[in-house]
Amino acid sequence: MTLNILDVSLRDGSHSVRHMFTEAQVRAAAKGLNAAGVRYFEVSHGDGLGGSSLQYGLSATDELKLIEAAVSECTTSEVAVLLIPGIGTKQDLENASKLGAKMVRVATHVTEADVAAQHIELARTLGLKTAGFLMMSHMAPVEKVVEQAKLFESYGAEIVYVTDSAGAMLPKDVTDRITALKQTLQCEIGFHAHNNLSMAMANTIAAVEAGATYIDGSMRALGAGAGNTQTEVMIAVLERLGYETGIDLYKLMDTANDVIAPIMQQSQEITSSSLTLGYAGVYSSFLLHAQKAAKQFGVDERDLLIKIGQMKAVGGQEDLIYEVAQNLAR
């Protein structure tokens, strides 16, 4: 079975570098990914198209310039973008398409696929490879994940992703969800992991063994929280397991070492904070916001993250972090 590897270093990694990617950095990473034979890689603000804002974090460089720079380095690879309805608009997607993006993942909370219908339909009209991205998939039972995935497929999604946004899943959680989708859907299945409980690689392998054919990773694990499945390690593991990836491992390692490593503001290790994200089931991109709020109000960020997890906060509720921190301080 041939797997489609999608690298998210230049999108999910944007969270980790506080959305400070430069055109030169994106160009160098894109050139390396293309040379290594990575079929798809994602470029946009960490929260997707249109994400640059006070709420989610301002980008140092306009994301359209970053997309254009990445596209210019591609001869075989294709640039993907993320779009979260309510953050990104149809106009944002049209602009990205005009610049040469070839794929979009339309992302919603795991129970809210219905808000994505018009964006998926537009993406198909634009000729983009189109995926539905069910974020925070650990928060819904298997039956609900299947129900929402069927909605994505009915709108025209060619791929549906189970997305472990909090890094909270264990391999059985992944196997159950991917297996159910494989038995129900006609479209392809994808999986996106975070490493907050040190389960990203194990969960990725579980997804592949259950039938997922689109798999995400990030070089040096650069991503929100403790990062994603580390792309170069994942390629080595998959090849040891006998799967075909079509990727030049040495060239990928060179790009990870020479381009991504110097960009990183901190190593992607599992700290007590990122561990708490996975333990409490909190959206991985909340980490830097929680650290900032905890320092501002003088509270333990672990207590803050646990409380946010108990409140079942979802992506888009970053302002809640500061409100909860203020209340804890009282």
Torsion sign across C-alpha atoms 137, 142, 147, 150: positive
Q: Where are the domains of the chain?
A: 4-262, 272-329
Alpha-carbon torsion angle 130, 89, 219, 55, nearest 10 = -150
CB-CB contact of 78 with 42 (8 Å): no
192 catalytic? Reply is no
State the Cα–Cα distance between residues 286 and 288, nearest whole angstrom. Answer: 6
CATH architecture of the domain with residue range 272-329? Orthogonal Bundle (1.10)
State the Cα–Cα distance between residues 52 and 59, nearest whole angstrom. Answer: 5
Cα–chain-centroid distance for residue 174? 16
Same fold, 4-262 and 272-329: no
State the Cα–Cα distance between residues 189 and 167, nearest whole angstrom. Answer: 18
pLDDT tens track, the chain, 330 positions? 779 999 999 999 999 999 999 999 999 999 999 999 999 999 999 999 999 998 889 999 999 999 999 999 999 999 999 999 999 999 999 999 999 999 999 999 999 999 999 999 999 999 999 999 999 999 999 999 999 999 999 999 999 999 999 999 999 999 999 999 999 999 999 999 999 999 999 999 999 999 999 999 999 999 999 999 999 999 999 999 999 999 999 999 999 999 999 999 988 999 999 999 999 999 998 998 999 999 999 999 999 999 999 999 887 888 899 999 999 998
- 113: Cβ–Cβ under 8 A, 6 or more apart, which residues? 132, 134, 148, 149, 151, 152
The pTM score is: 0.95
State the Cα–Cα distance between residues 50 and 53, nearest whole angstrom. Answer: 8
Among candidate residues 15, 138, 192, 289, the one labeled active-site is 15
What is each CA distance from 197 to 99, 101, 123, 229, 294, in whole angstroms?
Answer: 37, 33, 34, 12, 22
- CA-based end-to-end distance of the chain: 56
CATH architecture of the domain with residue range 4-262? Alpha-Beta Barrel (3.20)
